C-alpha cells in the first residue's frame, strides 16, 4: 500500500476506518490478529530452546560429542554415558544462569517501554508503541518517536529527524498533502516513518504499516542498534587469544600421546576433554549473571539498565557530563516574579506567561508546568494557534483571542526574545522604541538577575489581526518584561559530587543557561567556577585548541545541542570515559556520543531510546551507586578470567609434560570433565561475590597485557605444583593407574578451588571473607572431591581409595600451594598497581 500517493479517503477505506480513529474493540481485535500472525504465543518456548541450544554450540563441545558417540560404537558405552551426563549437566548449569539473567533483563525493559498517544473512541489514550495498529490515529509532539509508517492528516510546524533512514542530519518539515508515486522516501513530505523522531511542532497521523511491514522493519536486520562496548571487544579478543592457545596445546598433547603409542580413541577423547575443560565456557554466563545482578541492585536504587554490557562502561566512567536542571537542582521550578524592564512586579506579565504556558501544545516541561500551576484562569481568552518551540528560535509563541482583539505572546531565552522586539512596554499598553541604550540596560538587568541565581526568560507581546501565525509573524513585537524563575539546589548535590570525586569521577556542568547562572551554581557546589567556557567562545576555538582545553573546563554555559556532542567527543579523545545525562531532544546526540548514555523516566521518548540507563529519580547520588555497581561487576568478571587463564595455561603445560613423562594417561577424559564440572559450581557464585573497597576506588581497565602476565606467572606456579605432585605420586609413592589419577584429580580440583578464594581478593585471602554463596559452594565442592574416591561410584569414575600417607603428602602440597599463591598474588598485583595496571 502506498503511503503518500493516494487520497486520504482511499487510505481510510483500505484500512476500514475514518478520520475519528478506531474504537477500543477494533484496536484490540487488530492487535490480537497481528500478534497471532507473528506467532507470539510460542515465542517464549522458542527463546528457551534457543538459549539451551546456545550452550552446546561450541565447536570443542560438538567435537567432544562426536568423539563420545564414536567411542560408544567401539564398546565404551558406560564411559560414554558418564561423560555425556557430565557434558549435559555443565550445559544445564550455563543454561539456568543465562535464562535467569534474560528474564531479569526482560523485566527491566518492560519498565521503560516506548509509549504513543492515540485517538480511540474519540478520546486520547496512551498505549505501548508496539500496540499501535493500522488504522490508529496517533498524536505527535516534540520528542516523540514515531511508532509506525504513517500518513499525515494535520500538522503545525512539524519537523522530523529522519537521519536514521536517510542520513540527512537536518530536520525535515512535514505537512499534509499528496505526492506522486515516484517520489523518493526522503522527499515524501506527507509521510512519517517508524523509528524517526519529532524535533518540533505537533501533528496527527494515520497509521498505515506497523512492525516488520514498515520501512524501518525491512531494514532492521541490516542495522546495528548499538555499537560494541570496549569491554565486549576485550572479551572477544580474550576469547580468540585463549582459543588459539588451547587449540595449539591440545594438538600438541594429542600428537605426543599418539607418538608414544597410547590408544587412539582414548587420546582423542583425552585431548578434546582437556580442551573443553580448559575453555572458559562459563564466562558468558558469569558475565551475564554479574551484570544482571548489578542491574537488579541498580533497580533497587531506581536505575533501569537497558543494555547489560553498558554496566561495565559505567564502571569505567571518569568524567560525568550533566545539565544542572533536575540533577543538580530540584527540577521543580518555582515562579518567583514577573517584572517589567524597570524591575517592577506586574500582574499582567504573570497572566501573559500563564496564557503562553497553558495554550502551547508542544512537549511538556517543568517551566510551563510551574506557570500552569499559577491557575490564573483563561477568562476572556481563547487559543487560536501557536508557533511551537524549537532549539534554533528558543522561544514559543501562542496566538490568543481576547476582548481587545488577537494577541501574540512569546516566551523564551532573553536574547531570542529581544531579537524580534522593536518596542519596550514601560507600562501596560504604553510603549517606547527599543533603542540600543534600552537594550544594553535590559541586558545589564538580566545579568544582575542571573547572578542572583534566577533563571530568567523574556516575554514579548504583539496585537495582530491575524487568526493564524507562522515564524515570519514573530517581528515588531514589544518587550514586556522578565519572568524570574527559581530552581533550588538539591540538598544532596554537594554530597553527591563529593562522592563522585572520591570515586575518581570528575563532574562537568553542560547547560544552555547563561554563564552567570551557571557560575552561580558552580560556586555553590565548589566547582571551579573560573573554568567556564561559553558556546560562542567554543565556536571560536579550532578542534585542536579545544581538545587541549576540554579537560580543564568545569562549566560549559550557553551551549547549543551540536556543541554538547563536540564537548563529549573532545573529552573522549583526551582519554576520558564519559557519561552524559540528558532528558531532552537537544541531548540525544550527546547521549549517543558518550560511553554511557543516561536519561530519565520523564524524558522524551527519543532520549530514553538513545540512553543505556534510565533514572527513575533524577539524582547524581544514584549515579555514584551505579558506577560502583559497574566496577563491582567488572572486578567479579575479571576474577573468573584470571582463574581461567591461570588454570588453562598451567594445566595444559602440566598435561603436556605428563604425557611425555608417564607411560599412561595422567587423567581419564571423564575425570577431566568431572574436574571442570566441580570447579564450575562455585564459579557460578563469583557474580555475587563481595568486592574489596580498594578495587572500586578507581575505574577498572581491560588489559590483555595484565591477563597474559597473570596467565604465565600463575600458570607456571600451578604447573610447578602439578609436577611436584607427579614426582611424589609416581616416583616417590610409586603410584600408577587409578591411584595416580585419583591423587592428581584431588590435587587438581582442590588447587583450582583454592586459587578461586586466593585470587578473588587483592589482600591476603584470610583477611577478606567471600560472599556466603561462594564460600558454601566451595566447601561443598571440596567435600565432593574428597569423598568421590570412597563413594559407591568411585570405580565407575576410575578412582580408587588412597592411603593416609598419600593423603598427607597431597595435603602438604596443597598447604604449600595456597601459601605461596597468596604471597605471589600480593606481589603480582602490587607490581601491577605501580605499573598503572588494574
Q: Angle at the Cα of 489 (from 494 to 551), degrees rounded to 5?
A: 55
CA distance 568 to 561: 11
Residue 345, strand partner residues: 339
In this structure, what are the phi and psi dihedrals at residue 117, rounded to the nearest 5 degrees? Answer: -100, 125
Cβ atoms within 10 Å, residue 297: 17
580, 571 Cβ separation under 8 angstroms = no
Whether 18 is catalytic: no
CA distance 533 to 768: 47
Torsion 122-124-126-128 (CA) sign: positive
CA distance 260 to 250: 16
In this structure, what are the phi and psi dihedrals at residue 612, rounded to the nearest 5 degrees? Answer: -90, -25
788, 717 Cβ separation under 8 angstroms = no
Of 412, 393, 404, the C-alpha closest to 470 is 393
Of 162, 167, 133, 163, the C-alpha closest to 148 is 133
Q: One of 149, 323, 587, 619 is an active-site residue; which one? A: 323
Helix residue ranges per DSSP H, 260-363 = 264-278, 283-300, 310-316, 347-359
Q: Angle at the Cα of 762 (from 760 to 765), degrees rounded to 5?
A: 65
CA distance 606 to 496: 27
Of 261, 461, 260, 274, the C-alpha closest to 353 is 461
CA distance 200 to 391: 9
**Separation in Å, CA 529 to CA 21, 386, 506, 554, 570:** 54, 39, 14, 7, 20
CA distance 438 to 423: 10
In this structure, what are the phi and psi dihedrals at residue 466, rounded to the nearest 5 degrees? Answer: -70, 150
Q: How many residues make up the chain in this entry? A: 838
Q: Rounded to 5, what percent of the chain is helix, strand, coil?
A: 55, 15, 30
Of 524, 615, 460, 606, the C-alpha closest to 142 is 606
Q: Angle at the Cα of 633 (from 295 to 554), degrees rounded to 5?
A: 85
CA distance 1 to 256: 68
Strands (E), 608-696: 613-615
| Active-site residue list | 323
Amino acid at each position: 500500500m502506498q503511503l503518500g500517493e493516494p487520497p486520504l479517503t482511499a487510505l481510510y477505506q483500505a484500512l476500514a476506518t475514518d478520520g475519528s480513529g478506531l474504537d477500543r474493540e477494533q484496536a484490540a481485535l487488530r492487535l490480537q490478529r497481528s500478534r497471532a500472525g507473528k506467532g507470539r504465543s510460542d515465542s517464549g518456548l522458542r527463546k528457551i530452546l534457543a538459549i539451551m541450544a546456545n550452550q552446546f554450540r561450541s565447536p570443542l563441545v560438538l567435537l567432544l560429542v562426536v568423539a563420545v558417540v564414536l567411542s560408544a560404537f567401539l564398546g565404551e558405552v558406560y564411559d560414554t554415558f558418564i561423560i555425556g551426563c557430565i557434558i549435559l549437566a555443565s550445559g544445564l548449569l550455563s543454561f539456568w544462569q543465562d535464562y535467569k539473567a534474560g528474564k531479569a533483563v526482560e523485566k527491566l525493559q518492560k519498565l521503560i517501554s516506548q509509549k504513543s498517544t492515540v485517538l480511540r473512541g474519540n478520546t486520547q489514550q496512551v498505549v505501548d508503541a508496539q500496540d499501535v495498529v493500522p488504522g490508529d490515529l496517533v498524536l505527535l509532539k516534540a520528542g516523540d518517536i514515531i511508532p509506525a509508517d504513517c500518513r499525515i492528516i494535520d500538522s503545525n510546524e512539524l519537523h522530523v529527524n529522519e537521519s536514521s533512514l536517510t542520513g540527512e542530519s537536518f530536520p525535515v518539515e512535514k505537512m499534509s498533502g499528496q505526492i506522486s508515486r515516484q517520489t523518493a522516501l526522503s522527499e515524501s513530505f506527507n509521510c512519517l516513518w517508524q523509528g524517526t523522531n519529532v524535533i518540533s511542532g505537533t501533528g496527527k497521523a494515520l497509521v498505515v504499516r506497523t512492525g516488520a511491514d514498515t520501512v524501518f522493519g525491512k531494514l532492521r536486520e541490516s542495522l546495528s542498534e548499538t555499537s560494541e562496548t570496549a569491554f565486549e571487544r576485550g572479551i572477544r579478543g580474550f576469547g580468540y587469544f585463549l582459543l588459539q592457545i588451547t587449540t595449539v596445546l591440545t594438538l600438541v598433547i594429542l600428537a605426543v600421546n599418539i607418538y608414544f603409542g597410547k590408544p587412539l580413541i582414548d587420546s582423542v577423547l583425552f585431548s578434546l576433554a582437556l580442551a573443553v575443560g580448559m575453555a572458559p565456557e562459563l564466562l558468558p554466563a558469569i558475565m551475564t549473571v554479574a551484570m544482571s545482578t548489578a542491574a537488579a541492585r541498580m533497580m533497587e536504587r531506581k536505575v533501569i539498565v537497558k543494555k547489560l554490557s553498558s554496566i561495565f562502561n559505567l564502571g569505567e566512567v571518569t568524567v560525568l557530563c550533566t545539565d544542572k536542571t533536575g540533577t543538580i537542582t530540584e527540577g521543580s521550578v518555582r515562579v518567583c516574579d514577573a517584572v517589567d524592564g524597570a524591575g517592577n512586579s506586574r500582574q499582567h506579565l504573570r497572566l501573559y506567561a500563564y496564557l503562553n504556558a497553558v495554550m502551547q501544545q508542544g512537549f511538556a516541561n517543568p517551566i510551563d508546568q510551574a506557570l500552569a500551576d499559577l491557575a490564573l484562569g483563561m477568562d476572556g481568552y481563547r487559543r487560536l494557534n501557536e508557533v511551537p518551540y524549537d532549539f534554533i528560535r528558543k522561544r514559543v509563541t501562542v496566538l490568543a483571542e481576547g476582548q481587545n482583539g488577537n494577541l501574540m505572546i512569546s516566551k523564551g531565552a532573553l536574547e531570542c526574545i529581544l531579537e524580534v522586539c522593536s518596542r519596550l512596554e514601560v507600562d501596560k499598553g504604553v510603549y517606547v522604541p527599543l533603542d540600543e541604550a534600552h537594550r544594553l540596560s535590559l541586558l545589564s538587568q538580566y545579568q544582575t538577575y542571573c547572578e542572583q541565581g534566577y533563571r530568567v526568560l523574556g516575554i514579548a507581546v504583539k496585537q495582530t489581526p491575524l487568526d493564524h501565525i507562522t515564524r515570519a509573524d514573530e517581528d515588531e513585537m514589544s518587550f514586556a518584561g522578565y519572568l524570574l524563575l527559581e530552581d533550588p539546589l538539591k540538598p544532596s548535590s554537594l554530597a553527591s559530587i563529593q562522592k563522585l570525586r572520591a570515586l575518581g569521577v570528575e563532574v562537568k556542568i553542560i547547560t544552555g543557561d547563561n554563564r552567570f547562572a551557571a557560575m552561580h551554581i558552580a560556586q555553590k557546589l565548589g566547582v571551579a567556577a573560573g573554568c567556564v567556557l561559553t558556546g560562542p567562545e567554543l565556536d571560536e576555538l579550532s578542534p585542536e585548541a579545544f581538545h587541549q582545553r576540554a579537560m580543564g573546563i568545569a562549566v560549559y554555559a550557553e551551549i547549543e545541542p551540536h556543541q554538547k556532542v563536540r564537548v563529549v567527543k573532545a573529552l573522549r579523545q583526551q582519554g576520558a570515559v564519559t557519561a552524559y545525562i540528558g532528558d531532552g531532544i537537544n541531548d540525544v546526540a550527546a547521549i549517543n556520543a558518550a560511553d554511557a548514555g543516561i536519561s530519565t523516566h520523564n524524558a522524551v521518548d527519543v532520549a530514553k531510546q538513545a540512553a543505556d540507563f534510565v533514572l527513575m529519580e533524577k539524582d547524581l547520588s544514584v549515579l555514584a551507586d551505579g558506577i560502583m555497581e559497574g566496577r563491582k561487576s567488572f572486578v567479579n568478571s575479571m576474577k573468573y578470567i584470571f582463574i581461567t587463564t591461570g588454570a588453562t595455561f598451567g594445566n595444559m603445560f602440566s598435561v603436556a609434560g605428563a604425557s611425555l613423562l608417564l607411560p599412561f594417561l595422567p587423567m581419564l577424559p571423564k575425570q577431566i570433565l568431572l574436574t571442570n564440572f566441580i570447579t564450575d559450581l562455585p564459579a557460578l557464585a563469583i557474580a555475587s561475590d563481595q568486592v574489596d573497597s580498594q578495587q572500586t576506588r578507581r575505574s577498572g581497565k581491560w588489559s590483555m597485557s595484565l591477563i597474559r602476565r597473570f596467565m604465565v606467572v600463575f600458570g607456571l606456579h600451578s604447573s610447578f605444583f602439578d609436577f611436584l605432585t607427579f614426582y611424589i605420586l609416581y616416583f616417590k609413592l610409586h603410584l600408577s593407574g587409578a591411584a595416580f589419577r585419583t591423587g592428581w584429580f584431588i590435587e587438581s580440583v582442590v588447587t583450582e578451588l583454592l586459587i578461586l578464594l586466593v585470587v578473588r581478593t587483592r589482600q591476603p585471602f584470610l583477611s577478606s571473607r567471600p560472599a556466603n554463596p561462594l564460600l558454601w559452594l566451595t566447601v561443598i565442592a571440596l567435600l565432593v572431591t574428597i569423598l568421590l574416591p570412597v563413594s559407591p561410584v568411585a570405580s565407575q569414575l576410575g578412582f580408587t581409595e588412597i592411603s593416609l600417607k598419600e593423603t598427607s603428602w597431597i595435603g602438604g602440597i596443597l598447604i604449600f600451594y595456597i601459601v605461596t599463591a597468596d604471597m605471589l598474588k600480593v606481589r603480582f598485583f602490587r607490581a601491577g598497581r605501580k605499573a598503572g595496571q588494574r
